A and B are shown apart, each in its own frame.
Chain A
Amino acid sequence: QQQVKQSPQSLIVQKGGISIINCAYENTAFDYFPWYQQFPGKGPALLIAIRPDVSEKKEGRFTISFNKSAKQFSLHIMDSQPGDSATYFCAATGSGNTGKLIFGQGTTLQVKP
């Protein structure tokens, strides 16, 4: 119940294309869903986050779509750029979790020029 399942494990997209990464969770007590971006040799950094009271959140080229009934959420990267090549992690946490983030398995994105 504490798991967050992420797919695909790896993704190759052409420059200008749309990258889509999907996550699913089971614990209905989760109420905060951040996405973290990690470049090689660096620590993860918050990219964008959503709470389940909205179905979509957009920040620049990055959009989270959230489906509460299906317990799924996804990250869309529009107009993907080579600089977006990184590993992306979805995560979830809930009240009473003391800030504990449950991470998905990660998706390695490569954007080809």
Chain B
Amino acid sequence: DTAVSQTPKYLVTQMGNDKSIKCEQNLGHDTMYWYKQDSKKFLKIMFSYNNKELIINETVPNRFSPKSPDKAHLNLHINSLELGDSAVYFCASSAVGGGLKETQYFGPGTRLLVL
């Protein structure tokens, strides 16, 4: 059974479109994250939710909006997609947030290509 799953795995779309990426974890974790990995493989955190509450909101364009319907799910909606949004987006989860350091488990990634 996959611990952290993401859908879709690949996403190819046109500039200006709106798209969503879904993430689910079956580990019973309280905290979930979204990371962006660019073409140089640099990993940067975008958002984090702890028990459905937003706790990390990095400097990300407001075209990106996370939503956590429950603590097992964290979705990422992107409006008005731009070429520079092309990247791999990873969802991750951990047992505890709020300053404690627990292992973050990453999903397989969603490869977004904006044409």
| Chain A residues near B (Cβ < 8 Å) | 31-32, 34, 36, 38, 41-46, 49, 87, 89, 93, 95-101, 103, 105-106, 108
With A89-B43, A103-B43 given, is the CB distance from A43 to B97 under 8 Å? no
Does B78 count as interface, using CB distance less than 8 angstroms? no
Contacts of B40 in A (CB 8 A): 105-106
A101 and B104 form a contact (CB under 8 A)? yes
Assess whether B55 is in contact with A43, with CB atoms less than 8 Å apart.
no
The CA of A34 and the CA of B12, in the complex, are separated in Å by 33
Instruction: Give Cα A42 to B42, complex, Å.
Output: 14
Q: Is B42 touching A99 in the complex (CB atoms < 8 A)?
A: no
A23 to chain B, nearest CB (A): 14
Give complex CA distance A89, B55 in Å: 24
Given contacts A42-B109, A43-B90, contact A98 B43 (CB under 8 A): no
B33 touches A99 (CB 8 A): yes
Cβ contact of A99, chosen from B94, B105, B107, cutoff 8 A: B94
- The residue in chain A whose Cβ has the minimal distance to the Cβ of B41 is A106
- Give the residues in chain A near B97, CB-CB below 8 Å: 98-99
Cα of A45 to Cα of B109 in the assembled complex, Å = 12
Q: Across chains A and B, which 10 residue pairs bring their CB atoms closest together, nearest first?
A: A43-B106, A32-B101, A99-B97, A103-B43, A106-B41, A95-B99, A46-B103, A98-B55, A44-B106, A43-B90
